[in-house]
Amino acid sequence: MKKVREAKEIIISINNTILNVELSIRDVDLIETLFDALTEYVKQGCAINVKQSYMTSPSDSVKMISKIITKGEQMDEWRHETRQLISVLRKKQ
């Protein structure tokens, strides 16, 4: 029988046009599952328009990334960039 793992905290906010999902950067397996799903979506021929904001430190200004992803290779690149950013942020905690 599988052992039940500790529940992950997921914060969902919904308004008229947006479903926003927040995950802890410590929940690497959950983040990877999300990236797996997005990768499959892109591989099915659907494009995604990514608008990502981040701060590497509390004294830093907010940085924005915007890109349209249409291919699996682009998805892999964005996933790698995001992993690196998360790694930097986790080291600062």
Per-residue pLDDT reduced to its tens digit, 17-54: 999 999 999 999 999 999 999 999 999 999 999 999 98
Model pTM score:
0.84
**Sign (positive/negative) of CA torsion 73, 45, 67, 91?**
negative
- For residue 63, list its beta bridge partners: 54
Strand positions, DSSP E, the chain? 10-14, 19-23, 48-54, 63-69
pLDDT at 8 over 80: yes
